[in-house]
Structure 1
Amino acid sequence: MADMNYTYEPVTTDVSVNQQTHRMEGGQLWRQYIIAGVANIAITATGFSMGWTSPVNLKLQNVTDSPLDRPITSNEEAWIGSLLNIGAIIGPFIGGLAASKIGRKWGLIVSSVPLFIGWLLVAIATNVGLIYAGRIFWGIAVGMLFTISPMYCAEIATDEVRGALGSFLQAFITIGFLLVYSIGPFISYSAIAYIGVAIVAIFDIIFFFMPESPVYHLSKNDRQSASQSLATIRGKSEAGVQAELDKMAADVKAAMDKTATIKDVFRGGNFKAFYISCALVFFQQFSGINVVLFYMTNIFNAAGSDLDPAIATIIIGAVQVGASCVTPFVVDRLGRRILLLISSCGTAIGLALLGMYFILAEKENPIAETISFLPVLSLVLFIITYCWGLGPLPWAVMAELMPMEVKAIAAPIATAFCWMLSFLVTRYFNSIADALGMYVAFWLFGVCCIVSFFFAMFVVPETKGKSLQEIEAILSGRARKEDKA
């Protein structure tokens, strides 16, 4: 965007009249929630794709239910679980380019293409190679969506609801997980694919009628379209949004006047925003969340729980949705840091209990039989507290911390880093569990959650209620200097 000639054209209407109109028009806050919710239907589609392995792994091990002519091996199962992450490492760079070239709205719509291709490959699969390819295409879409969706939600949101809209990603992805957990065990392999296609189609049809981000229009020097878009999002007349649009236009112009390169990501406040974002996604992935989600049915089978693994998985999925729906309502009241602290503490306890159960079961301790409920209880605690902080907040905080001029460069790198970690965790979890014991793997994840607690306490800045400019000042140290002055 550095080569664009941006001309700032102040509105000709009297500013005092604009401000008076702005005060008189209260706007419709619900519009921001609706628009962000529709945008995140695509995230539901990714949740459905990511959770697909939990019910389908069992089908692929049974020739009667599988499209393949033989059961898959444990090594093939590991690759099926992890290859989505390979695509997700590539996706953020495609997503970042699409967001800057064709816009946030069309970038989100285009992300449905690899989702459709993935479902087509999975639906017609007669060998493991086609399933591998389908998972990679799903991953590309996941990487694109996890880059563009938080960007879109942050840019359409007012300061007081930006945290809530940023938390939508986690809430909607859990809906996708619950859906595939609930119906996957009870319908055919092909039927699951048809439902996956239907979710993507619903997103494309409805989101087509949603507005583009006004920030994108301003970056293209199209103030009129930005005005119309912002008026639609706020539920006001165009005159009523001119004061906000003036400030937004000035911020966009200031960001575009700075020529951002990869070197700028590693300087001053930009680097602080970048390493905090990378650290948060590291703790998110090394909490073991994707291991739990991808291999949930396997975990219950290994634990020998009395509860039907399919039913237990549905319970966990429902808990996940319920917990994720809490965060948008409290994140802008309690703040990001306190939720991260609660989340890190709760996930560490849940993983410790899960590890304790598995070591008792491995040693054939009779106590394990009397506490067969513990895996479900531990995972419920883990999922609830994960969904309160470590799940949604790394993405919301990343969208808030990164300045506009470096976001297109830094956000895809941080997102790709996240999925690289996810690949390593999902690909080698079974190997570690087989070599050292499943309890060791869960305790390693628990230690990472403890480290996350202290990182959130001492390093992550609180962004509750602050504008993007105020956050940038905190990261660069200007805020502290001004306080001392």
Structure 2
Amino acid sequence: MADRPYSYDPVGAGTPVNQQAHRMEAGQLWRQYAIAGVANIAIATTGYSMGWTSPVNAKLANVTTSPLDEPITKDQEAWIGSLLTVGAIFGPFIGGFTASKFGRKWGLLSSSIPLLLGWILVAAATTVAYLYAARISWGVGVGMLFTISPMYCAEIATDDVRGALGSFLQLFITFGFLLIYSIGPFVSYDVIAYVGVAFVAVFDIAFFFMPETPTYHLMKHDNESAAQCLMTLRGRSRAGVQAELDKLSAEVNASLEKTATIMDVFRGANFKAFYISCALVFFQQFSGINAVLFYMTSIFDAAGAGIDSSYATIIIGAVQVVASGITPVVVDRLGRRILLMISSCGAAIGLGLLGMYFLFSANDSPILPSIGFLPILALVLFILTYCWGLGPLPWAVMGELMATEVKAVAAPIATAVCWTLSFLVTRYYGPVADAVGLYTAFWIFGICCVGAFFFSMIVVPETKGKSLQEIQEILAGRSKSEKA
């Protein structure tokens, strides 16, 4: 009996465990992808809500297709587009509170409340005030989800797939955009709203059966629930997850010894993580992505590119999905920094080409008829490369850089910064473009992408394959190189 390789569960379950066998447990990696996928259905619903303006603005401007008493004006259209981002400024703080108080799972589920309220207001709208309220309500849900979803995915993932799961946010939001682009121009205003309600309901039902994160259970000193959660996530036995549980428990306990306040966000490694996160979301928003997505149909109409704008937006939506599907596959091989550099470079070229087209258009250039393809080509390049890096990776990197003890405080602030910038872009894109020309507006966005390239190359640390503890050591300067 002395040479039998058995021991007992150290947490107290009393189950004999074959240690040698459990060292060989491979687990089931697909479980992490499946659970993260279900969690990100909520993100897909936000893409559907955010892209709603593209096909619906035309319906609201037409008295025969609008549910309102009168067609909307250009100024009302700008407010409808931008007010979602106002709600999203406040949503992160609600999301941070619910994630910390009730858990990541219930925080995600609670985000469906403002999303559903928004769709009810849209369906009942008779005046533009209903739409303003609906967009603000959607924004609250979006802000909550963009705070909690990266947190949830980072906390359920092993180090080798954390980048892939973090990239799911961009992949799933593009599914939502593609859906609204595909059905919006061809169905009634009311049908669009009913699909939105059904979309949120599908998320609620599916995600209800998903687990909480082990990190949250450990923060509440519930080791048994954390162990069960890890068993579900990894597809392993209790002994098979024990080493990971012990390591994670030590990290969480160490972080809980510190009581994080808002001032802690602005100290040492925490501040470095915070300003890198804020800078990345600045470059993300000032790439002009939301101006392009919210006003996609209007851009194609202004370009007069010789293709129906409804079909052009579907093409762009499909490109988004395909491009966003590439990042989860390659991000843990190539690394975050190189993808951010490729993405910002490609986005800058696409925006430069788009600006050049509108410059020729503004000057009635004789070559304009021969380059009618250029707006679609430029936007495809912009969207394709944006989805490789600038779209998903600021959120993934934010979830990786921020220490556990400050994440619930710092992440909502960084997310609110993101949506404040998004409001400025979406609200004033139209007036600025009218004042200085579409070409100047796109070139400003392009210059910001050039800035993103150099910032990613010089400042952003590579986090590929590193544990959250190793990342904190890099930020604190306790590593020989930030570029390993």
Normalised TM-score (structure 1): 0.96
Distance 1:268 1:21, change over 3 A: farther
Structure 2 counterpart of 1:262, one-letter code: I
The superposition leaves residues 214-265 of structure 1 with CA deviations (integer Å, 9 ceiling, x where unpaired) of: 1111111111111111100100112211111011111110011011111111
CA contact (8 A) 1:18 1:240 kept: no
- Residue 11 of structure 1 corresponds to 11
- Residue 307 of structure 1 corresponds to 307
Q: Secondary structure at the match of 2:136?
A: helix
Inter-partner Cα distance in structure 1 for 2:353 and 2:60: 31
- Residue 48 of structure 2 corresponds to 48
Inter-partner Cα distance in structure 1 for 2:160 and 2:233: 15
The superposition leaves residues 196-231 of structure 1 with CA deviations (integer Å, 9 ceiling, x where unpaired) of: 000100000010011111111111111111111110
Inter-partner Cα distance in structure 2 for 1:19 and 1:258: 35
- Residue 123 of structure 1 corresponds to 123
CA contact (8 A) 1:163 1:396 kept: yes
Q: Deviation of residue 427 (structure 1)?
A: 0.1
CA contact (8 A) 2:54 2:293 kept: yes
Aligned length: 475
Structure 2 counterpart of 1:410, one-letter code: A
CA contact (8 A) 1:18 1:243 kept: no
Distance 1:202 1:66, change over 3 A: same
Q: Deviation of residue 368 (structure 1)?
A: 1.4
- Residue 188 of structure 2 corresponds to 188
Inter-partner Cα distance in structure 1 for 2:152 and 2:188: 36
CA contact (8 A) 1:401 1:468 kept: yes
- Residue 394 of structure 2 corresponds to 394
Q: Deviation of residue 69 (structure 1)?
A: 2.0
Inter-partner Cα distance in structure 2 for 1:268 and 1:22: 40
Matched, 1:431 2:449: no
Q: Deviation of residue 20 (structure 1)?
A: 3.8
- Residue 165 of structure 2 corresponds to 165
Inter-partner Cα distance in structure 2 for 1:125 and 1:211: 37
The superposition leaves residues 100-155 of structure 1 with CA deviations (integer Å, 9 ceiling, x where unpaired) of: 11100011001000000000001100000000000000000000000000000000
The superposition leaves residues 267-322 of structure 1 with CA deviations (integer Å, 9 ceiling, x where unpaired) of: 11111000000000000000000000000000000011100000000000000000
Q: How does 1:294-333 map to 2 (within 5 A)?
A: 294-333=294-333
CA contact (8 A) 1:10 1:246 kept: no
Inter-partner Cα distance in structure 2 for 1:408 and 1:116: 25
Q: Secondary structure at the match of 2:106?
A: helix
Inter-partner Cα distance in structure 2 for 1:292 and 1:252: 41
Inter-partner Cα distance in structure 2 for 1:349 and 1:418: 23
Distance 1:415 1:237, change over 3 A: same
CA contact (8 A) 1:346 1:382 kept: yes
Distance 1:19 1:279, change over 3 A: farther
- Residue 338 of structure 1 corresponds to 338
- Residue 462 of structure 2 corresponds to 462
Inter-partner Cα distance in structure 2 for 1:170 and 1:28: 24
Aligned-residue Cα RMSD (Å) equals 1.7
CA contact (8 A) 1:18 1:242 kept: no
The superposition leaves residues 447-483 of structure 1 with CA deviations (integer Å, 9 ceiling, x where unpaired) of: 0000100000000000000000110000000112999
Distance 1:482 1:270, change over 3 A: closer
**Structure 2, gaps ≥5 residues long:** 1-8
- Residue 291 of structure 1 corresponds to 291
172-181 or 256-265, larger mean C-alpha shift: 256-265
- Residue 5 of structure 2 corresponds to none
- Residue 257 of structure 2 corresponds to 257
Inter-partner Cα distance in structure 1 for 2:163 and 2:251: 20
Q: How does 1:89-104 map to 2 (within 5 A)?
A: 89-104=89-104
Inter-partner Cα distance in structure 1 for 2:28 and 2:127: 52
Q: Deviation of residue 11 (structure 1)?
A: 2.7
The superposition leaves residues 53-76 of structure 1 with CA deviations (integer Å, 9 ceiling, x where unpaired) of: 000000001011110121100000
Q: Secondary structure at the match of 1:100?
A: helix
Inter-partner Cα distance in structure 2 for 1:17 and 1:478: 38
Q: Deviation of residue 370 (structure 1)?
A: 1.4
Inter-partner Cα distance in structure 2 for 1:237 and 1:10: 13
Q: Deviation of residue 22 (structure 1)?
A: 3.8
- Residue 5 of structure 1 corresponds to none
CA contact (8 A) 2:44 2:176 kept: yes
Q: How does 1:144-223 map to 2 (within 5 A)?
A: 144-223=144-223
- Residue 472 of structure 1 corresponds to 472
- Residue 245 of structure 2 corresponds to 245
**Structure 1, gaps ≥5 residues long:** 1-8
Q: How does 1:51-70 map to 2 (within 5 A)?
A: 51-70=51-70
Normalised TM-score (structure 2): 0.96
Q: Secondary structure at the match of 1:210?
A: coil
Matched, 1:415 2:376: no
- Residue 3 of structure 2 corresponds to none
CA contact (8 A) 2:474 2:482 kept: no
Q: Secondary structure at the match of 2:161?
A: helix
CA contact (8 A) 1:337 1:460 kept: yes
Inter-partner Cα distance in structure 2 for 1:261 and 1:20: 44
Inter-partner Cα distance in structure 1 for 2:252 and 2:467: 14
Q: Secondary structure at the match of 1:159?
A: coil
Inter-partner Cα distance in structure 2 for 1:343 and 1:20: 45
Matched, 1:282 2:282: yes
Inter-partner Cα distance in structure 2 for 1:482 and 1:150: 23
43-52 or 473-482, larger mean C-alpha shift: 473-482
Q: Deviation of residue 333 (structure 1)?
A: 0.2
Distance 1:429 1:408, change over 3 A: same
Inter-partner Cα distance in structure 2 for 1:19 and 1:266: 45
- Residue 109 of structure 1 corresponds to 109
Q: Deviation of residue 17 (structure 1)?
A: 6.2
Q: Deviation of residue 411 (structure 1)?
A: 0.3
- Residue 358 of structure 1 corresponds to 358
CA contact (8 A) 1:278 1:417 kept: yes
Q: Deviation of residue 18 (structure 1)?
A: 8.0
Q: Deviation of residue 19 (structure 1)?
A: 5.9
Inter-partner Cα distance in structure 1 for 2:162 and 2:315: 30
Inter-partner Cα distance in structure 2 for 1:88 and 1:351: 26
Matched, 1:84 2:84: yes
